[in-house]
Amino acid sequence: MIRLSVVLPIYNEEEALPATLHTLSRALEEKIPGEWEIVAVNDGSSDGSLLILQRCASEIPSLKVVSYEKNRGKGGALKEGMCRAEGRFVLFTDCDLAYGVEEIFVFLSAFETEGTQLIVGSRSLSDDGYTGYSALRRMMSKVYFRVVKTVAGIPFSDSQCGIKGFEQSCAFKLFSGLETYGFAFDLEILLKATSRQLSYREMPVKVLHHGKSSVHPAKDAFQMLRDLRKIKKRMNEEKKPAQA
């Protein structure tokens, strides 16, 4: 039985991949031997990421590799990975393991002891959750999350945190119909989870180290708010009864 699936979205991560996969696989085998899998999704990388994944898969039997040629975005990669995961609890995190490995087992323990269907990491709930961020980035992030929480009508304090965990059947239901592939994919998932009244818990987390980032705070914030409007409109239309 697979207790835990860890899904990694990968786009041009050849530098981080070898260390990430070996660090993660060793930790998983030490804590839950034989009861885990890693689902690594190559999101159309143009570097050597796929070759590294293929090589590592020959060394790590519990590594499942999913790959396709055209880049779809983080949401698209996670849609593929989350729907193929077989663990009772399915968690995604960033390829650079920015939140650390131990946090994964904190999430798993909470899932197994509390029976919650969704666990959402939150930097906002941690005293040092934004350590390493510039003052401007911290301020913009906190303002953005407050706006999103109000506009979207969701209870989560950090919608964009890069570590989230799901009960397997919930993960499949939420991600199989995902239509938002950019950075706003989290909002679609959390809106659907809220609409379906899934049981949830927010988990305080902190970023242990900062890898490369393609995030542009101001530009991406406006784009995500536009995407949020589209997501809500689409969900409202889906709720309307069909015309006779």
Query: What is d(CA 198, CA 28) in angstroms, rounded to the nearest whole number?
Result: 27
Task: Give CB contacts under 8 A, 24+ apart, made by 234-240.
Answer: 234/179, 235/191, 235/192, 235/195
Q: Catalogue the E-assigned strands of 24-150.
A: 36-43, 63-68, 89-92, 118-122
Amino acid at 217: P
Taking the model in full, what pTM does it have? 0.90
Q: Is residue 244 part of a domain?
A: no
* Per-residue pLDDT tens over the stretch 94-137: 999 999 999 999 999 999 999 999 999 999 998 777 676 667 77
* Per-residue pLDDT tens over the stretch 192-219: 999 999 999 999 999 987 555 555 556 6
With vertex at residue 143, the alpha carbon angle to CA 137 and CA 147, rounded to the nearest 5 degrees, is 140
* Per-residue pLDDT tens over the stretch 46-77: 999 999 999 999 999 999 999 999 999 999 99
Instruction: Supply φ then ψ for residue 3, to 5 degrees.
Output: -80, -35
Range of the domain at 89: 4-238
Q: Catalogue the E-assigned strands of 104-227.
A: 118-122, 164-167, 200-204
Query: What is d(CA 9, CA 15) in angstroms, rounded to the nearest whole number?
Result: 14
Q: Specify the number of domains making up the chain.
A: 1
Q: Is residue 19 part of a domain?
A: yes
The CATH number assigned to the domain holding 191 equals 3.90.550.10
pLDDT at res. 244: 41
Q: Is residue 149 part of a domain?
A: yes
Strands across the sheet containing 89-92: 63-68, 36-43, 4-10, 89-92, 164-167, 118-122, 200-204
Q: Is residue 243 part of a domain?
A: no
